[in-house]
Amino acid sequence: MQYVIQEGERDDRSIATEIARALGRRIVTGAIAPGEWLRQDHVAEEFRASHVPVREAFRRLEAQGLVQSEPRRGVRVAPLDPATVREATEMRAALEVLALREALPLITPDDLAEAARAIAATEASCEPAVWEEANRRFHRALTAPCRMPRLLATIDDLHRVSARYFYATWKGLEWGPRSEGEHRAILETVRAGDGEAAVNLLIAHIVEAGRALVRTL
């Protein structure tokens, strides 16, 4: 199916954003397999774009760790590597804790309600796409109030890295019920105003999730 970019979105920067988003989603969900080559001509034809935004999209995907550039050969999807999971896990544990600490004084009842809805969505579905999206919504609900956009953008990138490994391993994971229970415990400590307990629970939750992904690879 050909991807059509709407009129008014034809500048190189916005086209690169659309291409990177679409290809990134395919890589994360496994629709484009690890090791598969991304042909610049094919991508440009699909998106009806010049090579300039395609190259920029490739650079963005490489910065996110989703593709690798090989001199004189091109760009291919990065392999699934346990070391990447470990790195993303360590970074998330540090950065999400920073975001949560800054967010705690600013979290509203609406933020808490959104976190609760996200937990309910994970509990109600066994579909990996639904579960993964709701999982990100839960974490975002409790960290977004920090009002630190660069920090949140970095955390979003790390969630995309983790999501790729989740899609690759979800059939072998027995993580859902435990994760949902940990989400509820984190939410309750935030509601109770026990910030230190919430931070400690969040660290343990992220670290153990990363370990589960590594074990299942």
**Closest to 161 measured CA to CA, from 67, 95, 40, 98:** 67
Helix (H, G, I), strand (E, B) or coil at 196: helix
Query: For residue 77, is pLDDT > 90?
Result: yes
Q: What is the pTM (predicted TM-score) of this model? A: 0.82
Residues 6+ apart with CB under 8 A from 77: 27, 32, 33, 34, 35, 36, 38, 66, 67, 68
Domain 82-216 fold is Four Helix Bundle (Hemerythrin (Met), subunit A) (1.20.120)
Q: What is the arithmetic mean of pLDDT over 201-207?
A: 96
> Per the structure block, which two tokens stand in for 117?
């809805």
Question: Residues 182, 173: contact at Cβ < 8 Å?
Answer: no
Other beta carbons within 10 angstroms of residue 212's beta carbon come to 19
How many whole angstroms separate alpha carbon 158 and alpha carbon 6? 29
**CATH number for the domain formed by residue range(s) 12-77:** 1.10.10.10
pLDDT at 200: 97
Question: Residues 141, 111: contact at Cβ < 8 Å?
Answer: yes
**Residue 169 pLDDT level (bands cut at 50, 70, 90):** confident
What ranges do the domains of the chain cover?
12-77, 82-216
Over residues 123-163, the pLDDT tens digits come to 888 888 999 999 999 999 999 999 999 999 999 989 988 89
Over residues 85-102, the pLDDT tens digits come to 999 999 999 999 999 999
Measured N-to-C along each axis, helices 109-124 and 176-191 cross at an angle, to the nearest 10 degrees, of 170
> Per the structure block, which two tokens stand in for 156?
């979003």
